[in-house]
Amino acid sequence: MPITTDDPPDAPATSTTRRALLITLASISAVVLLLDQASKAWAVRSLVEGERHELVGDLLGVQLVFNPGAALSIATGMTWLLTVVATVVIVVVVRASRRIGSRAWAVALGLLLGGAVGNLTDRWIREPGPARGHVVDFIAYADWFVGNVADIAIVAAAILIVILATLGIHLDGTRDGRGDGDSGDEASDEPRDEAGTGEARDVPTDAAPAVAPTTTTATEQNV
């Protein structure tokens, strides 16, 4: 039995594309994690807790802070809960990555995963103990709050996810509204639509010769 070659090429292509997207996601996560932990190590080694050094006037500076809560010092007494939330986020991102089909989503999830792992690492390795560790923050934004590289990645991921959702781009790479376009193409392929009406296409063009012999036969019988 001959083996068709139409379907097999599609599977490797899909697998290759998804593998490339997963590599992109993992690479971005690794870069974010590396930058986050390296910058935190520098801050702990070079800065004194509570001392602020201005970089751009009062708008931007560096100030070492050990944050037991989330951004803006929210939930400072619930460090363990933030550890659980970060762990859940990581699990959700990893599971969702199995359906990845969009480069933009790979970038967004890579940023989110790297940022979440970066801050979760602090929760586990820093004082006062595992799952209760304080996150190292050192980037001071005016008098608003102090953050870190992981926070920047998480915020960037959130913005990108909102943009993708607004544009109707799904995790698997499909877009909203594409089905309407496909249905229109299928309708235009119908033979009866080319003439504008179905009746003209229902009557075959060779029907006229079929009538002529019948009329001629009747005439000959009358003669």
Residue pair 88/65 in contact by the 8 Å Cβ criterion? no
Residue among 6, 137, 180, 189 flagged as catalytic: 137
Which residues, 6+ apart, have CB-to-CB distance to 161 below 8 Å? 108, 112
Residue pair 145/71 in contact by the 8 Å Cβ criterion? yes
Decide: residue 78, CB within 10 A, 0-12 exposed, 13-18 middle, 19+ buried.
middle
Whether 151 is catalytic is yes
Tokens of 116: 């979440």
Torsion (CA) 215, 216, 220, 221 in degrees, nearest 10: -30
Whether 180 is catalytic is no
Residue among 143, 151, 193, 206 flagged as catalytic: 151
Which residues, 6+ apart, have CB-to-CB distance to 31 below 8 Å? 114
Which residues have a catalytic role annotated?
A: 137, 151
